[in-house]
Amino acid sequence: MLYERLAKPLLFRVDPEKAHHLVIDGMRRAAETPGGLTLLKSLYGTPRDEALSLEVAGMSFPSPVGLAAGLDKNAEAVPGFSSVGFGFMEVGTVTPVSQPGNEQPRLFRLPSDQALINRMGFNNKGAEDMAGRLASLKERPVPIGVNIGKNKITPNEEAHLDYERCIRVLYPYADFFIVNISSPNTPDLRRLQHGDELRTLLSAVRAELKHQAGEGASKPVFVKIAPDLDDGELEETVDAIESSGVSGLIATNTTLSREGLTHRNRGEAGGLSGRPLTGRSTEIVRRVYSQTAGRLPIVGSGGIFTPEDAYAKIRAGASLVEIYTAMIYKGPEINRQLHAGLKRLMQTDGFTHIAQAVGADHR
């Protein structure tokens, strides 16, 4: 366990955001070093297994386990992360214009809770910078999703313009897009999840995707929702998302809840991710799948640390799953654990392919 025994103790002595940059720089340098990607694959890669490979929203995924947005905000380490066993990855959240984000410190570990709190505020180098990085990639072993958001200074009534601009700049380089309307760290952003504001935004996003596609089929787009919606809000939001014609939904983003936390950093403002979110995010997946009768592909995200966590989200209705906080606490070794465990769990249930497990709790 190279990461947990050697790298993690060193990284956890450093400020969390500095440690974050060290990881990104390390992954980037590994890709630039001759033999570096081969070494990463030998240490952490997972061989393709047809039983875990699947198609979702017209895209082929070598496995259902992906990297959530927020770790590689500027697409600086795509080759590195693509080499450590992920079946897909998100980059971003990216905004049309670069912005510094919120004041530091803005990222906090809660080790006793296996959690993180962040109030980063969409700090990123902007859409043009990301487009240049993605354009320079020599190969794409896994699908790359670009998570897009609005700049902090953009009022909600003009938010659709920011999302449209991100799509225009990045359309040639993304395999799919994710509309982030659920981060708690950009003022008023979560209001875009509701009613007419959501319908207006998704209509604009769909129109821009269609425009960029020309005569061809437009690239898939998913919508990422918050775990803090009440039952009525969730039902309304899911109805609007499904009726908009988007490709799918990601459940969920970080939470504002602090229920059950023990660590001294529990009082920090921002979005909470990690183990405390496991149950709630799975319940959201279950409700979305039930409401849509499985018609809307779901990506389950939130508190996945073990194969059982991932499999619970798949049985609840997720076609794909994502991790982030577990990468911080367990390192890239987690991907081999998740893949082996998923294979074991689905075989125990008598399934020969992971797609057969999707939504199994509803049958």
pLDDT tens by residue, 181-205: 999 889 888 988 887 889 999 999 9
Q: Give the mean pLDDT of 97-107.
A: 97
Instruction: Decide if pLDDT at 115 tops 90.
Output: yes
The partner residues of 222 in beta bridges, in order of sequence, read: 178, 248
Which listed residue (183, 218, 273, 281) is catalytic? 183
Write out pLDDT tens, residues 120-162.
999 999 999 999 999 999 889 999 999 999 999 999 999 999 9
Q: Residue 3 — pLDDT band, cuts 50, 70, 90?
A: confident
Place of tokens 């529990």: 266
Distances from the Cα of 152 to the Cαs of 179, 191, 213, 255, 346, in angstroms?
15, 14, 28, 19, 43
pTM exceeds cut of 0.85: yes
Q: Residue 1 — pLDDT band, cuts 50, 70, 90?
A: low
Q: Give the mean pLDDT of 92-97.
A: 97
Ramachandran quadrant class, 45 (left: phi over 0; alpha: psi -120 to 50; beta: rest) = beta
The partner residues of 293 in beta bridges, in order of sequence, read: none
- What gap in Å lies between CA 257 and CA 273, rounded to an integer? 10
Q: At what angle are helices 307-316 and 334-348 packed, to 10 degrees?
A: 50
Mean pLDDT of the chain: 96
Instruction: Decide if pLDDT at 8 tops 80.
Output: yes
Q: Is 83 a catalytic residue?
A: no
Write out pLDDT tens, residues 316-362.
999 999 999 999 999 999 999 999 999 999 999 999 999 999 999 99
Instruction: Decide if pLDDT at 265 tops 90.
Output: yes
